Structure 1
Amino acid sequence: MKYRTRRTALIILAALASLATVSCSEKNDEPDEPVVRELRFLQAFPDGAEHDPFAPPQPTLHDVLERIWEATDDARVKGLLVRVGPLQGSWGSVGDLVEALGEFREDNRPVHCHFETADNVGYLLLASSCDRISMSPAGTLDLIGPAAVMIYARALLEKVGVEAEIIHMGRYKGAGDMFIRNDMPPEAKQSMDAILDDLQGALLSATQLRTDGDLGRAKALIDQGPYGSDAAINAGLVDAVGFLRESREEIKTAAGVENIRRTRMLPKQEQLTLGQFLGLLSGEREKPKSSGERVALVFVNGNITDGESDARGNAVAGPFVRAMERLENDENVKAVVMRINSPGGSALASDRMWEAARNLADRKPLIASVGDMAASGGYYIASAAGEILAHPNSLVGSIGVVGGKFNVAKLAEDIGINTFILQRGKRAAWSTPVRALNPSERKAFETLLRDTYDRFISRVAAGREMETAAVLAAAEGRVMTAQDGKALGLIDEMAGLSEALHKARAAAGLGPEVPVELWPAPKGMLDAINELLSGNGEDDARTLQRLWLRQHPLATTLPLAAWAETLRVLAEEQVALIPPYLFTVR
């Protein structure tokens, strides 16, 4: 496999060799005259700064924020035209877009928005940030309110001969309930009802901006969705129905300019020089070095896993710990922002990452910024920061532990497999999947989970400087919106990434012009090819599995990738810090 990978990389290099003499300089085509910038928010953006150079290009949330910040700082940009699409479940991170567009509008520069199809989160952005909203004649406005579908599959597992043995620490920690129950427990319904109430409240507040503050009218409009263009304009949810060409003319008139320019959402791509090409062939790759006073922005995205090599889409303990140690010891890094968008994962990895973050926080300002979610292991790491910022609809908490295994003994028997267990040691075979836990093993496992839970509580208490009793009041595995978390002391302020960077600079005594170092650094094609050649990249099989699950037809309505990752963590480590239930709210 490794030889095939290396051969593939060499073929790619050969194809790129024809570009090796291309100059790295680019013509600056930025206009000097006043312009309107056109931005595209056509899908939910992944958090972080990493791109897959071999996949169709897709901007990250950080890329999009950078484009808005650049427009805000450019006096030549007199207005924005924002094209909006379905933003799916990005209830928390949409607040970063609202925050950034609000900063642009502070100078009384107009922001017009146009969409073909928009959903709940898309309309939250439209109503909160746009001076004018237009939609295409054949467009759809899917303003219907949030919903969550909870699935319980114990009966299915029993039919195929599988028994899930899952133990929770925390009354609300129901991550394994889908495998061990056929109905929704009252604790899960209570938590989900609270989350849905908060999300509905946010959508109502945004819709009220279109109803002159009439709450009853806003509720009725949501209940009457979805909308075609005629119904949407008659309801006052949009200002105009027309094509994109007409929206472009409207914003030029409102901004008083003659030109509108479409903004490239992705960073400029690096170009391959002859020296870089030869360096790759020789196995050398010069790493860019940051210098001068700066702040660092560290992304913690995806499932938290233990290991020592990078894995795109996951937060891996080893690379994170090494990065935090480097930033801690770099005297020119004056402050650090951790951007967290993670449901948790490995208990061991979470504790390693907490310790690295805590050590850094003892020496320089460390601020945590929550995207859509910092739950369970994600919140575990966030609690090491001196301050935690989140948007009201970000999901936080889930301070609890889950562990267990799957017993496939009946399935094995039904399909003709006979198993024989030989062991030395009273509990040597406790994790085997072909028999159930005995009472002694279950008691020992519960003790292991209790120790992990107590450690979780103590880490949060130390990081948040809270009494243990106060942490316990917010714990029991309950996931909540950040606005509820703030009332319990889990969150310091309702704010996004822009404000977190501002606070970091201010805490370090730095001005707004000070640059930001990103980690993990954006990787271009050269980096990806170098990883293929060196054999240091992520596991190919896991990458293909993750991509397949994301492209599966059911992935639009069910969190298939999250379920698969939960099973993997439980199989490999038995003890996990993951949310109490796996769901998608749209």
Structure 2
Amino acid sequence: MRLKHFIKQVVTVAVGFLISLLALSGIVVFGLLKLTSKDSSQVENNSVLALNMHGRMIEWMPVSLFGSNGEIIDFKVVQNAIHQATKDSRIAAIYLNVSYLNAGLAALEEVREALLNFKKQGKTIIAYADFYTQQSYYLASVANEILLSPSGFLAFKGFSVTVDFYTRLCAHLSVKPVIFRIGDYKSAVEPFCLTKMSEESRKDTQAYLQPQYEHFLTQIGRSRSIAVAALKEHANHLSAVLPNDALRAGLITKVGYETDAKKLLKAKLQSPPLVNYKAYGALKTPSDSVDKIAVLMAEGVIVDGSSGAGYIGAHDVVKALKVIREDSRIKALVLRINSPGGGVMASDIIWKAIEEVKAVKPVVASMSCVAASGGYAIAAPCHYIFAQPTTITGSIGIFGIFPDSTALMHKIGIDRDVVKTAPSADCFTPRLSFSELESKLMYKILQFNYDEFLSKVADGRRLSVACVEKLAGGRVYTGSVAQSNGLVDELGGLDAAIAKAASLAKLPQGYGICYFPRSKTKLEQLLNYTTHTIKMEVCDALVQGYPILNHYRILSKSHGVQAIFPYTIDMD
């Protein structure tokens, strides 16, 4: 007993010492950052905002306990920096370095619009890259000068959607996926039962991919004064990939190194000081004395429990919505959605919480790159919905997948027996197969959830259930098409959604904007850091590096019936 008590005391002291040391380190680091960082008021005249965007652009920046988020770009900070620079007479130009940028088309659209507004003020934009993906070039195409490294390339080659199919793999492993779905166009299950796209899926994919591509080409053509037909020819024949070919095509203005881009800035502005966009565009907490609009960032797959990198946790979102609903200083909510959907139950819990906020204050949805399936379900109750022309939305349908491993277990020598008090007592537990009665029950559950989905969309959008049913079945739409069929109210980005929320709330100028989820302190993260959190972060990192694992993430993390859109568009 004494030894046990001694060990307990030692462990308690060690943990206390570790927490104190981490807290002290955080205070020291914070102090050093405050001492070494420049306040925006110290920006000199004739300065250049340096947008060095290397990494993946996301909309909600989870503060990593042990990492620096160095390869992550915060969409909100980028937008805020450009907006401030547009109005700031001390900022004369933007230097855009986008060699390693990875972002969705709709998010790029909003950044691009901000850059165009900056340029309309008579200010200069100079872009450089070691190489341009189609994503990074979409931003660079607005610049006055576009430079590409002599050893680089411009990957101007069109858009694609690639789907990996696991049906034969499952057969090799002796695992049979048992599939239930509602909606002929609900293609999330196809990788587990087919070896190529169904005609419905191919038709649906082409229906949203082609308009996105046309929009991409139209915007570039407008900025570079090149006909869309000519741009298509370059993509079809890969005739503007090499630097000199891209120069002859008019897609870039100069072949040169980064030093050449800096020389151009120097020639235009006489040795201008560079301003780091992260420090300049850092979001400030509004005063408690002003009325505010809350912006709730919902990014990732919708799941039960807590939020994390790549996940929208229903538990955490409901808590945030309760704070927003009860705070008298928050006059309206903007729900920013970048989600392919997820669990039906988790989506329904969030839907209910949004309904409760909607009952007391205006709620506006802002769709980013994707707000499909469950992602659309949580947008449906909002008073007003914005989307970008290239947003992927719709996909109103549901499914369930359960692996039948009977043959695999027999092959590897595992036998199982069970004692039951009723024929289906072990239904919905990890087991082998579904009886006819259980299969009927599953379809009954799916049909009930599907009918609820249709009803909620109809109520939120003020449409008849019959009208919504014609739009449903898993069909996917671009933002432009969704506006024409009534699923979306207006085309626009986050700024337009915030302005609409202010208008609905009848707020005068000078309101503040507060973002949710609120970042946790390092100490709060340490206390909440669990094996579950580590698993979520590792899984998200693996999915970014190996997209083939996305289906595993969806199926392993989500529970029960699913409402999710499974594909991504390749612009690289």
1:44 is matched with: 56
- Deviations for 1:209-268, whole angstroms, at most 9, x for unmatched residues? 3663523211111123361211111221101112223223324544x5641313242689
**C-alpha separation in 1, matches of 2:228 and 2:309:** 44
User: CA 1:506–1:17 in structure 2 vs 1: closer, same or farther (change >3 Å)?
Assistant: closer
**Mapping of residues 333-482 of structure 1, within 5 Å:** 333-482=330-479
Contact 1:304 1:345 in 2 (8 A): yes
Contact 1:233 1:240 in 2 (8 A): yes
Contact 2:130 2:152 in 1 (8 A): yes
**C-alpha separation in 2, matches of 1:217 and 1:83:** 26
**C-alpha separation in 2, matches of 1:5 and 1:389:** 48
User: CA 1:489–1:64 in structure 2 vs 1: closer, same or farther (change >3 Å)?
Assistant: same
Post-superposition shift, 1:460?
0.8
**Which residue, 41, 58, 63 being the options, matches 2:77?**
63
User: CA 1:313–1:471 in structure 2 vs 1: closer, same or farther (change >3 Å)?
Assistant: same
**Which residue, 497, 501, 510 being the options, matches 1:500?**
497
Post-superposition shift, 1:289?
8.8
**Which residue, 299, 302, 313 being the options, matches 2:300?**
302
Amino acid at match of 2:551: W
Contact 1:50 1:520 in 2 (8 A): no
User: CA 1:542–1:92 in structure 2 vs 1: closer, same or farther (change >3 Å)?
Assistant: same
Q: Is 1:250–2:236 an aligned residue pair? A: no
TM superposition score normalised by structure 2? 0.90
Post-superposition shift, 1:183?
2.6
Amino acid at match of 2:554: T
2:218 is matched with: 205
Contact 2:480 2:491 in 1 (8 A): yes
**C-alpha separation in 2, matches of 1:193 and 1:465:** 29
Amino acid at match of 1:410: A
- Deviations for 1:65-112, whole angstroms, at most 9, x for unmatched residues? 111112122121122121123444511111110121122223222222
Q: Is 1:190–2:193 an aligned residue pair? A: no
**C-alpha separation in 1, matches of 2:130 and 2:32:** 39
User: CA 1:131–1:522 in structure 2 vs 1: closer, same or farther (change >3 Å)?
Assistant: farther
SS at match of 2:57: coil
Post-superposition shift, 1:486?
1.5
**Aligned length, in residue pairs:** 554
Contact 2:80 2:282 in 1 (8 A): no
User: CA 1:74–1:18 in structure 2 vs 1: closer, same or farther (change >3 Å)?
Assistant: closer
Q: Is 1:149–2:162 an aligned residue pair? A: yes
1:279 is matched with: none
SS at match of 1:112: strand
Post-superposition shift, 1:5?
8.5
Contact 1:380 1:456 in 2 (8 A): yes
TM superposition score normalised by structure 1? 0.88
Contact 1:100 1:498 in 2 (8 A): no
Consecutive unaligned residues in structure 2, runs of 5 or more: 1-10
1:540 is matched with: 533
Post-superposition shift, 1:15?
4.5
Post-superposition shift, 1:125?
2.0
When structure 1 is superposed on structure 2, of 504-513 and 12-21 the one drifting more is 12-21
**C-alpha separation in 2, matches of 1:377 and 1:134:** 42
**C-alpha separation in 1, matches of 2:485 and 2:172:** 43
User: CA 1:5–1:213 in structure 2 vs 1: closer, same or farther (change >3 Å)?
Assistant: farther
Contact 1:120 1:142 in 2 (8 A): yes
- Deviations for 1:135-163, whole angstroms, at most 9, x for unmatched residues? 12222111111111112221221121100
User: CA 1:266–1:442 in structure 2 vs 1: closer, same or farther (change >3 Å)?
Assistant: farther
- Deviations for 1:492-530, whole angstroms, at most 9, x for unmatched residues? 11111122122222332334532211101234xxx1332
Post-superposition shift, 1:52?
1.9
**C-alpha separation in 2, matches of 1:205 and 1:213:** 9
- Superposed CA RMSD: 2.8
Contact 1:49 1:518 in 2 (8 A): no
Post-superposition shift, 1:469?
1.7
Amino acid at match of 1:43: G
1:488 is matched with: 485
2:563 is matched with: 577
User: CA 1:513–1:53 in structure 2 vs 1: closer, same or farther (change >3 Å)?
Assistant: farther
**Which residue, 96, 105, 119 being the options, matches 1:105?**
119
Amino acid at match of 1:141: L
Q: Is 1:220–2:233 an aligned residue pair? A: yes
**C-alpha separation in 2, matches of 1:363 and 1:15:** 43
**C-alpha separation in 2, matches of 1:23 and 1:428:** 60
- Deviations for 1:376-416, whole angstroms, at most 9, x for unmatched residues? 11110011211111111111111111113111111011000
**C-alpha separation in 2, matches of 1:329 and 1:476:** 37
**Mapping of residues 38-187 of structure 1, within 5 Å:** 38-56=50-68, 57=70, 58-88=72-102, 90-127=104-141, 129-187=142-200
SS at match of 1:304: strand
Post-superposition shift, 1:35?
1.9
When structure 1 is superposed on structure 2, of 288-297 and 187-196 the one drifting more is 288-297
**C-alpha separation in 1, matches of 2:511 and 2:424:** 57
User: CA 1:407–1:228 in structure 2 vs 1: closer, same or farther (change >3 Å)?
Assistant: same
SS at match of 1:302: strand
**C-alpha separation in 1, matches of 2:568 and 2:38:** 47
Contact 1:408 1:435 in 2 (8 A): yes
Contact 1:81 1:111 in 2 (8 A): yes
SS at match of 2:56: coil
Contact 2:265 2:271 in 1 (8 A): no
**C-alpha separation in 1, matches of 2:456 and 2:15:** 42
User: CA 1:565–1:289 in structure 2 vs 1: closer, same or farther (change >3 Å)?
Assistant: farther
User: CA 1:482–1:153 in structure 2 vs 1: closer, same or farther (change >3 Å)?
Assistant: same
User: CA 1:267–1:469 in structure 2 vs 1: closer, same or farther (change >3 Å)?
Assistant: farther
Consecutive unaligned residues in structure 1, runs of 5 or more: 271-286
SS at match of 1:458: helix
Q: Is 1:12–2:22 an aligned residue pair? A: yes
